[in-house]
Amino acid sequence: MLFFLKRFVKIGLVVIIIFFLIFIILIETTLQPILNDICEVEVTGILTTVINKGINQANSGLSYNDMVRIQTNKQGHIILMEPNLKFVNKLSSDITLEIQRRLNNLTEQIITIPISQIFGVEILSKFSPRINARIIPHGAIKTDVVDEFDSVGINQTRHRLYLKVDTKVRVVVPLTGAEIAVSTQVPMTEAVIVGQVPQVYVGLEKGLFKEGIIKKKE
């Protein structure tokens, strides 16, 4: 009798282990991508708030003229537009450090995700059990200034400047974890330029601030 009981326990343990492994594989292959998508939305929202606060802290009092130099001729026509690279690089460095400092404080940041949301049942999200996910900053922060021109009237052109921030975080949930790349773009400053803006600037595919124009410290 004792022999059969031990044999039954061993078989039971094997069955439990098999089901556990199947459950892990199911999470990795089916649920993990869905969970990653949900986490990415949540994390992007959190990081956007952090980045906005970092920008506001680092660029208090920032004006458009700090970042862009405009030269006109005697008739008042624009003959030259150029980024103030020295100022932009200093600003970018300050913002990156401030964002990094704030991201480091997210080490204990916990987001809760309704299990029903993972299975696409939004209506039960208020009553569903939840799993906790922990955000861990992972990797360097890359910042770039990007910009765009658009017409807002006769001889009036709006020039908008944004800060593009790319970073990575690791989201840790029970049994698994994933690295999520987050890219967000937030407005910095803008100006409405009165007068004819040369098409050589308006037509720039990557704007006045070409990608990679910010020099990175070695």
> Using CA atoms, how far apart are residues 214 and 86, in angstroms rounded to an integer?
9
Distance of CA 33 to the CA centre of its chain: 18
Query: Which amino acid is located at 31 in the chain?
Result: L
The residue that leads in pLDDT, 180 or 35, is: 180
Using the structure block, give the residue that is written with the tokens 């770039």. 144
Per-residue confidence (pLDDT) for residue 217, from 0 to 100: 40
- A 10 A CB-CB count for 35 gives 21
> Using CA atoms, how far apart are residues 141 and 38, in angstroms rounded to an integer?
22
Residue 181 parent element (H or E): strand 176-194
212 by DSSP, 3-state: which? coil
Total residue count of the chain as it appears in this document:
218
Fill in the DSSP letter of residue 63: -
8 A C-beta contact, residue 180 and residue 171:
yes
pLDDT tens-place string over residues 12-29: 788 888 877 776 676 666
pLDDT tens-place string over residues 158-191: 888 888 888 888 777 766 677 778 888 888 888 8
Tokens at 88, concatenated = 């932009």
Conformation bin of residue 114: beta by default, left when phi > 0, alpha when psi is -120 to 50:
beta
> Using CA atoms, how far apart are residues 179 and 40, in angstroms rounded to an integer?
10
pTM recorded for the entire structure? 0.66
Longest dimension (CA), the chain: 106
> Using CA atoms, how far apart are residues 215 and 91, in angstroms rounded to an integer?
11
Give the domain ranges of the chain.
2-202
Mean pLDDT over each residue of the chain, to the nearest integer: 74
- A 10 A CB-CB count for 55 gives 22
8 A C-beta contact, residue 190 and residue 151:
no
